[in-house]
Amino acid sequence: MRETTSLGPWIRRFLLEHLVSERNLAANTRLSYRDTLCQLLPFVSARLHKAVDRLAVDDVSSKLVRAFLGNVEDSRGCGIATRNQRLAAIHALARFIGEHSPEHIAWSAQVRCVPYKKGTHAAVPYLDKLEIDALLACPDRRTQQGLREYALLLFLYNTGARASEAAELTVADLHLDHSNADILGKGRKRRQCPLWPATVGELRALVADRGPQEHVFLNRCRQPMTRFGVHALVERTAAKAQSDMPSLATKRVSPHSIRHSTATHLLSSGVDINTVRAWLGHSSLETTNVYAEINLEGKARALAKCEITAGQAPTKRWHADANVMKFLRSL
């Protein structure tokens, strides 16, 4: 078997060279691609009764890719978004092999013709200002742990940062004298985000004894928080806040819903949508337009409260008002 026909070497080059050196993808994206292949290869191996290390490129046919995607939805219980995410990784692998191996161009085209599945767009979850205030009021700021939790929650709401962005933030990324922070986002793109004076004060106290390369947000063991730790903190705080704000029990509260809340509240306060796009680090304005639609719904509800009811008596026209006419004749 020629080396170019074996799938193993291609996957090694794809994961260790292409994704890292050529595309410079973020670590979480690379892990997502790896996880897809960790699911795909055993599935193909079982269907063909062939050892994983003996699989050839052509064994991963478009028919088996479709069967794998069906398995992702049916057996694993994943949604359409996850299914499409897995397909994106497979498309990327097929494109890479097709670009470097002319004999596999036809195979690459067939695999890349497997279409993404269209799904319904779920409503963007966000919290009202009172619900955000309830979250921020939960940490006991008389304790060191409470101060750390409050600083993280305030930073998430101030910046609209993703959980991974907050977890990776270092002291060197903070420019507290200038009230801003550098955030490393998707696609390894950096953006500057302004900080409120209250956020600056909390962060200044939090990192007072830290070196530039240390992480800003640490857990109780003084180890850097992971994105899973950030998620756990937000969910734990939301569960605690439900006693004072029962409406939180009906919402799925996560770092991303706080991010949505930041965008929605910025637009509601009159901030330009392009500024919000830069604030959140969106590469396309189309992504940010989702929040503009939410803002329009809020304006429509406000307008409905001002609507004249059908039974309201019409205002009398000026020339039908006897007092007005009497005044005009006296001039």
- Select which of 141, 186, 231, 240 is catalytic: 186
- Select which of 18, 215, 256, 265 is catalytic: 256
- Cβ atoms of 62 and 110 within 8 Å: the answer is yes
- Cβ atoms of 108 and 94 within 8 Å: the answer is yes
| CA dihedral (143, 146, 152, 154) positive or negative | negative
Q: Is 91 a catalytic residue?
A: no
- Select which of 83, 259, 260, 265 is catalytic: 259
Q: Is 256 a catalytic residue?
A: yes
CA distance 295 to 170: 33
Q: Is 49 a catalytic residue?
A: no
What residues pair up with 191 in beta bridges, in sequence order? 183
| CA dihedral (252, 134, 232, 161) positive or negative | positive
Q: Helix (H) and strand (E) counts for the chain?
A: 14, 3
Measured torsion, CA atoms of residues 238, 241, 247, 250, in degrees rounded to the nearest 10: 30
- Cβ atoms of 251 and 125 within 8 Å: the answer is yes
Provide the residue type at 124 as one letter.
Answer: V
Q: Is 291 a catalytic residue?
A: yes
Measured torsion, CA atoms of residues 252, 253, 256, 259, in degrees rounded to the nearest 10: 130
CA distance 82 to 78: 6
- Residues annotated as part of the active site: 162, 186, 256, 259, 282, 291
